[in-house]
Amino acid sequence: MVSKKVQQFDPVVNLQEIEEKFEMFQILNEEGEIVNTEVDLQLSDEQLVELMSRMVFTRILDQRSISLNRQGRLGFYAPTAGQEASQIASHYALEKEDYILPGYRDVPQIVWHGLPLWKAFLWSRGHFVGGQIPEDVNVLSPQIIIGAQYVQTAGVALGIQKRGKKEVAVTYTGDGGSSQGDFYEGINFAGAFKAPAIFIVQNNQYAISTPRELQTAASTIAQKGIAAGIPSIQVDGMDPLAVYVATRDARKRAIAGEGPSLIETVCYRYGPHTMAGDDPTRYRTSETDSKWEKKDPIVRFRKFLMSKGLWSEEKEAEVIANAKEEIKAAIKKADETPKQKVTDLIRNMNDGDLPFNLKEQFQIYTEKESK
């Protein structure tokens, strides 16, 4: 016999009630106007200018990295243009002692967290020096396995908790990453132990060529956090102020012992998934690109700062010029780093005595490299 309680349950109504809770959080509209006056930004004029400077630098870094890749001077590269608010504004809400576990598109965040840019370039080339993180920089190398960083973040956050530190572990993935098992395992584990973690899903609309609507039947990715029992929010990922506030508040909850948060940033990548042959014109239209370009995070933030008298064309030109010089110096240092040898690979991948077959190869390559 079916109980009366079960008979009265309407799953459609309940799903609608859940999805209505995830109205997109926005502070700055596309015209650079404040549309949410209830939020206390807690950012000085100097901090606003610094955030804009970092976003402009990151856009130039993306342009130069694409050019360097096409010249054969970089290896793997995943473009970031369009995601500056999602990446840089979220990072701006962190502290130096926090840990970042990035995905492969999240190089800008770990560079701003302290990883030398020349080492980031070497990482792109697959050079082992690019994976040698300075002792005082709390980042891991970018994760290539999609979603794996979510499980790792739960573990790092639990370690922070056990040490009693006022720190957080922060990780990023894309909308495609939210379809991985590691995504669910990571947020569930962290939620169960109230570990101080911030899980950010950068919903840039496509997992390579697969559109977001084919990733999940859920109307938002943010609502997936409900199953893990953690606070979740969908944010306008093209709005740097909204991303900053959402991340700042998540960090406050984490260090207060209230557990992890899930943040979905709704954004867009202008370029291909990676420079490894992806052609976005095969699955995106120019109309779609134009629609999102009108939401550009840098244009939006520029309008806002100019309206406050904090930004100018001259200031932006100065930031761009400095960025180009820093990038030029970094690629020069990367070029001057001794090339990785086969013996380096064998030595770095094996600890202690080598098995007989590798000993033979090591000796062969040692003789070749000495000539």
- pLDDT tens sequence across 191-207: 999 999 999 999 999 99
d(CA 139, CA 169): 9
Q: What is the pLDDT of residue 1?
A: 47
Is the CB of residue 220 less than 8 Å from the CB of residue 22? Answer: yes
Q: What is the pLDDT of residue 42?
A: 94
Q: Which of 73, 184, 283, 347 is catalytic?
A: 283
Q: What is the pLDDT of residue 73?
A: 95
Q: Which of 273, 284, 300, 302 is catalytic?
A: 273
Is the CB of residue 195 less than 8 Å from the CB of residue 225? Answer: no
Q: Span 118-145, mean pLDDT?
A: 97
Q: Look up 283 and say whether it is catalytic.
A: yes
Q: Look up 127 and say whether it is catalytic.
A: no
d(CA 309, CA 291): 28
d(CA 225, CA 252): 18
CA atoms within 13 A on the CB side of 59: 20
Q: What SS3 state is found at 25?
A: strand
> Residue 110 — very low, low, confident or very high, per pLDDT cuts 50/70/90?
very high
Given a cut of 50, is residue 329 above it in pLDDT?
yes
N-to-C CA span, the chain:
85
Q: Which of 64, 269, 284, 302 is catalytic?
A: 269
> Residue 7 — very low, low, confident or very high, per pLDDT cuts 50/70/90?
low
Q: Residue 255: what residue type? A: I
Question: Domain spans of the chain?
Answer: 11-34+41-338, 341-371
User: What's the mean per-residue pLDDT of the chain?
Assistant: 94
Q: Which CATH class is domain 11-34+41-338?
A: alpha beta
Q: Look up 163 and say whether it is catalytic.
A: no
Q: Span 77-105, mean pLDDT?
A: 98
Q: What is the pLDDT of residue 13?
A: 66
Q: pLDDT (tens digit, 9 = 90+) per residue, 37-76?
A: 999 999 999 999 999 999 999 999 999 999 999 999 999 9
CA angle 220, 222, 225 (to 5 degrees): 130
Secondary structure element (H or E) that encloses residue 19, with its range: helix 11-20
d(CA 88, CA 97): 17
* pTM of structure: 0.93
Q: What is the pLDDT of residue 249?
A: 98
